[in-house]
A and B are shown apart, each in its own frame.
Chain A
Amino acid sequence: QVQLQESGPGLVKPSETLSLTCTVSGGSINGYYWTWIRQTPGKGLEWIGHIFPSGTTTYNPSLKSRVAISVDTSKNQFSLRLTSVTAADTAVYYCARDNYGATTPYHFDFWGHGTLVTVSS
């Protein structure tokens, strides 16, 4: 059974950089897209972006200038960096696996438990 676990600081100061890591266990990181999603009461669930183990990334245009996702296949981990954070970036951040089949579209089949990141001085 694939498991994902987010880790990183729960408190980040305004204008600083939010950094989170997702560790994948119970399966290989290869062959799937790995995604960051965040959730706020106001905006609901927001797709941040994803990465393929080759390093190919796609980001949400609303965050593209501030976000970077990277992968370390040797550690079965992928990471999120979000720069110049404000209170609006306060959210629960989830990592998830984006799975697909030969005839089935992408779907998020495994999720981490989520980690609350608060932006405050």
Chain B
Amino acid sequence: DIQMTQSPSSLSASVGDRVSISCRASQSINTYLNWYQQKAGKAPKLLIYAASIVQTGVPSRFSGSGSGTDFTLAISSLQPEDFATYYCQQSLSTPKTFGQGTKVEL
């Protein structure tokens, strides 16, 4: 299985901050990398797919980058509704695997 490791596990930030979350794959996954946002009690929501393509309807302050084994999700100016947990997920091969999550807190 491809292991996905996110860092940090949690971070504290303020409204307006720029935030970056890292995701590392245990082997090269090209750009087969997706990012999701999950709020408490809700299902994950797709933010970014193919490493850098922003899903329709997702604010432009969200961006993704990277290829191979190292990826980054960036939020350019944190908004109150962005406090949530973020997950990366590889779609190169089955079983599809997720990172352990990064909780963005106030």
Same complex for A and B? Answer: yes
A105 vs B35: C-alpha distance in the bound complex, in angstroms? 13
A interface, size bucket: 20 to 34
Given contacts A108-B34, A108-B36, contact A47 B96 (CB under 8 A): yes
B interface, size bucket: 20 to 34
A105 x B50 contact (CB < 8 A)? yes
Residues of A within 8 A of B46 (CB): 107-109
A108 x B50 contact (CB < 8 A)? no
User: Shortest beta-carbon distance, B62 to chain A, in Å?
Assistant: 14
Residues of B within 8 A of A47 (CB): 94-98
In B41-89, the 8 Å CB interface with A consists of: 42-46, 49-50, 53, 55, 87, 89
Is A62 close to B, CB under 8 A? yes
User: Shortest beta-carbon distance, A112 to chain B, in Å?
Assistant: 7
In the complex, the chain A residue whose C-beta lies closest to that of B41 is: A114
Main secondary structure on A side of the interface with B:
strand
A45 x B95 contact (CB < 8 A)? no
A106 vs B95: C-alpha distance in the bound complex, in angstroms? 13
In the complex, the chain B residue whose C-beta lies closest to that of A46 is: B98
B49 x A94 contact (CB < 8 A)? no
Is A58 close to B, CB under 8 A? yes
Q: Which residues of B contact A (CB under 8 A)?
A: 31-32, 34, 36, 42-46, 49-50, 53, 55, 87, 89, 91-92, 94-101
